[in-house]
Structure 1
Amino acid sequence: MSQFDVAIIGSGPGGYVAAIRCAQLGFKTAIIEKYSVLGGTCLNVGCIPSKALLSSSHHYHDAVAHFEEHGIEVGKVKVNLEKMIARKQAVVDQTTGGIKFLMDKNKITVFEGVGSFEDATHVKVTKNDGSSETIEAKYSIIATGSKPSNLPFITLDKERVITSTEALKLKEVPKHLVIIGGGVIGIELGQVYLRLGAQVSVVEFMDRIIPGMDASLSKELTKVLKKQGMKFYTSHKVKSVNLKEKTVTVEAETPKGEILSLEGDYCLVSVGRRPYTDGLNADKAGVKVTDRGQIEVNDHLQTSASNIYAIGDVVRGAMLAHKAEEEGVMVAEILAGQKPHIDYNLIPGVVYTWPEVAAVGKTEEQLKEEGVAFKSGSFPFKALGRARAGGDTDGFVKILADAKTDEVLGVHMIGPRCADLIAEAVTAMEFRASAEDISRMSHAHPTFAEAIKEAALATTDNRALHV
């Protein structure tokens, strides 16, 4: 029987990063993955492939809608979806191959198969051919991730009524794509197919899209996407989804109690994700699982079995790849006797539409609910030279700061390159910077980052210079 210091079940961003850090710290490490490729949801059917399609569709949309104003004449432009999907898969293959390289480089043993506990120190690996082997590990880290959720009355045929997984490999551009759920995944994939020529309708139960983010971001993104042609039905409760031949009919209850009926050729069900623990046999190891399917953990990500930890989508908190990575590193360092920490308030959230949406810290709604006195300053990208030069003038940066101390409590932005710009806000907040601190920093001109400086100036006695 093979023996290891640490066995990690799941090879997504949390799992493979945990494995690398464990190996760096001198632990003999194994990683168990049920699929034939490493990388989990993020690299195979999530973050990476969706960003590849967002990038390709953005290029197409620019060519159709914006090249001419830049003095570029390209003639008739058409979509080759098959080639676009093939490029997406090539990006995925290269990325997952890179993870395999990192496992080899760090001398991490990879087991292909379903990992299930026999007890707290033994994990059985069941391979696709039915054979199995058992390994022994002093410590285990559960990193089994999540799967798309569904509504109980919806039947997913995965051809016309689909999840995000199938939406990444369609063989045609939908004529009318009906999306159930206005969260990050639905909105991102909706914009991909909207750019490629589909009619896109989003049905959302809450009163706004991306409901977990600051309301001002939801409002601005809705305005921009409506301008691009996307249709929204917020505060609508889906009652039924019926498929007949190639037509999907979605019926939803309106805020007035009436029934809205939408007919499309595809329906994307994007109502969140659920923790994935199928086949784990957590109870055999003494690991408690909540009614919602989450693994119970303490502040050190330790489960009810003292030698077993859990990270990522399978535990509480935001289901984000970078959150899982931080947790993987944290657990590895705890096992090595170090004292790492994670400030969950400083885990940024991003929506990779264009304009991009990004945020970190508290929203206005949260601060008001908590009774925190704050001040706010914002700056529009349309007033920024770099944004006008590139033609990307939608959106703004908003900074929320403590009314007394001026410490930055939250940064919310929508506009060009916000997925990258948010790192400046995270850095500032990690070191408990004030809005004044940010406003005194020199920002290169012309850059998109100047919008952050200007928002900080606006927060501090309304001193923005360019509005």
Structure 2
Amino acid sequence: MDRFDLIVVGSGPAGRRGAIQAAKLGKRVLVIEQGKRVGGVSVHTGTIPSKTLRETALNLSGWRERGFYGRAYRVKQEISASDLRRRLLITLDHEVEVLEHQFARNRVHHIRGKASFVDPQTMQVVKDDGEVIHVTGASILLAVGTKPFRPDYMPFDGRTVLDSDELLEIEELPRSMVVIGAGVIGIEYATIFSALDTQVTLIDPKSTMLDFIDKEIVEDFIYQLRDRNMKLLLGQKAEKVTRQDGKVELLLDNGRHIVTDMVLFAAGRMGATDTLNLAAAGLEADNRGRLSVNPETFATNVPHIFAAGDVVGFPSLASTSMEQGRIAARVAVGAIAKEPPKYFPYGIYAVPEISTCGLTEEEVKERHIPYECGIARFRETSRGHIMGLDTGLLKMIFSLKTRRLLGVHIVGEGATELVHIGQAVLNLKGTVEYFVENTFNYPTLAEAYKIAGLDAWNRMGDIKSEL
């Protein structure tokens, strides 16, 4: 029986970052991955595929140029599912090659197979050929990620009624699509297919969406979706879904009938813990398959077993999962782990993008902090005119007492890149004067920071810190 300092189950962002961190500290590390190739959900069905699909759709459809050439403009007149898949496969191959090289360079052992606990320190691995091996670890990191939630009442067939993993395998682009679930995944895919001129209807039983995002940003986002004829049926629930004659019919709880070519069910994900035999290790998952951990060390209730990534719940981002895996691995092998900076960016790769960092206006109000906001619209920048942008909004919130930046919120082209300027100023406790007094490249979208900073500064006037 092989013994390792750290056994990592899963090779997604949390698993690979944790494994490499432990290996760099001179530890003997094993990664167990049940997929055909390393990378986990992030590489094969989640982050990388969805973002590649988005970029391909925007490029081939000519979406970014329609501000100049009209809504009918397209780079490729007939876009097929194979067009989308071609770029996807090239990207995935590159990601896997990079990851395999990282494992080899850092001498991380990895095997393919399904892992489950035999006891708190021993794991059984069933390989593809049926061979069963046992390995032990001084510490174990569970980074198994999630899988789509698939309720029994949905007639999934992988062709007309799909989950978010199956969507990447479609053979033909639908003329119409219903997306059930207005969470991050549902919104990303709904807006991507809308950009491909698919008629999209988004359904969610909640009357609001993206409640963790600043309300003003969500309102601007919703306006843009409705402006391009996406139907948003919020506060409505699909009670019955049936397939017939190559179409899908939905009956909503208000009596409304919808007929569509395809239904994407994207209402949540489950932690992929059901095959781990957690009970043998003294662990128990919640009703969504997620594990509870110490938020500072990512240790479970069993001291030498850790969990990181999507399997521990919000925020379920590849970026935060990587940091969670790194911290968990350092604690697991007895190294010091510094607490990460307070503020991290949240990115939603919809069309348009949304990215946010720090406090929302609603959170600032709840904390009774005197504040002022600064707004910039991308069309106010020269770069925005050059790019043909009619939409796009950058919002910053500042404390009236300290003049410090409290939050930055962006909707529009390049939001997930632009947000890092605000993130740096937030974590370095910068004030409104940074944006007013500094020079930004011209013409750039980043100039929106100066415009928003001046907007806030003008509104704040000469209010002094003694307030």
**TM-score higher than 0.5:** yes
Within-5 A mapping of 1:392-431:
392-431=389-428
| 2:271 equivalent in structure 1 | 275
Q: CA separation in 2, counterparts of 1:314 and 1:81?
A: 31
Moved more, 452-461 or 163-172: 452-461
Moved more, 115-124 or 132-141: 115-124
1:328-384: CA deviation from partner (whole Å, max 9, x where unpaired):
1112222342131135x5222112233221001221222223433322111111111
Letter in 2 for 1:383: E
* Kept in 2: contact 1:288–1:303 (CA 8 A): no
2:311 aligned with 1:305, yes or no? Answer: no
Moved more, 155-164 or 318-327: 155-164
Letter in 1 for 2:329: A
Within-5 A mapping of 1:19-418:
19-62=19-62, 66=66, 69=69, 77-253=77-253, 258-298=254-294, 299-334=296-331, 335-343=333-341, 346-418=343-415
Letter in 1 for 2:338: P
* Kept in 2: contact 1:387–1:416 (CA 8 A): no
* Kept in 2: contact 1:33–1:113 (CA 8 A): yes
Within-5 A mapping of 1:448-467:
448-462=445-459
Change (3 A) 1:239 1:63: closer
| 2:465 equivalent in structure 1 | none
Q: CA separation in 2, counterparts of 1:63 and 1:355?
A: 11
Q: CA separation in 1, counterparts of 2:164 and 2:204?
A: 16
Change (3 A) 1:297 1:231: same
1:385 deviates by: 0.7
Q: CA separation in 1, counterparts of 2:417 and 2:74?
A: 30
1:48 deviates by: 0.9
TM-score relative to the length of structure 2: 0.92
Structure 1: any 5+ residue segments left out of the alignment? none
| 2:440 equivalent in structure 1 | 443
Q: CA separation in 2, counterparts of 1:462 and 1:67?
A: 32
Moved more, 368-377 or 200-209: 368-377
Q: CA separation in 1, counterparts of 2:146 and 2:40?
A: 9
Q: CA separation in 2, counterparts of 1:142 and 1:356?
A: 31
1:8-28: CA deviation from partner (whole Å, max 9, x where unpaired):
001111101111111111111
Q: CA separation in 1, counterparts of 2:368 and 2:68?
A: 50
1:407-457: CA deviation from partner (whole Å, max 9, x where unpaired):
222111012211111111111111122222333332111111111222222
1:42 deviates by: 1.0
1:401 deviates by: 1.9
* Kept in 2: contact 1:275–1:293 (CA 8 A): yes
* Kept in 1: contact 2:39–2:99 (CA 8 A): yes
Structure 2: any 5+ residue segments left out of the alignment? 462-467
Letter in 2 for 1:270: A
Q: CA separation in 1, counterparts of 2:264 and 2:28?
A: 43
Indicate the SS of the match to 1:451. helix
Indicate the SS of the match to 1:83. helix
Moved more, 60-69 or 414-423: 60-69
1:75 deviates by: 8.7
Moved more, 294-303 or 284-293: 284-293
Query: Number of paired residues?
Result: 457
Q: CA separation in 2, counterparts of 1:137 and 1:76?
A: 53
Cα-Cα RMSD: 2.2
Indicate the SS of the match to 2:455. helix
Q: CA separation in 1, counterparts of 2:436 and 2:19?
A: 40
Indicate the SS of the match to 1:162. strand
Letter in 2 for 1:384: T
1:211-270: CA deviation from partner (whole Å, max 9, x where unpaired):
3311112211111122223221112122121222311112223xxxx3222110100011
Moved more, 102-111 or 82-91: 82-91
Change (3 A) 1:450 1:264: same
Q: CA separation in 1, counterparts of 2:69 and 2:58?
A: 16
> Among the aligned pairs, what percent are the same residue?
27
* Kept in 2: contact 1:297–1:304 (CA 8 A): yes
2:13 aligned with 1:13, yes or no? Answer: yes
* Kept in 2: contact 1:5–1:138 (CA 8 A): yes
Q: CA separation in 1, counterparts of 2:357 and 2:245?
A: 45
TM-score relative to the length of structure 1: 0.92
Indicate the SS of the match to 1:462. helix
1:64 deviates by: 9.7
1:194 deviates by: 2.0
1:46-100: CA deviation from partner (whole Å, max 9, x where unpaired):
1111111111111122179639739xx9997221331321221221122122211
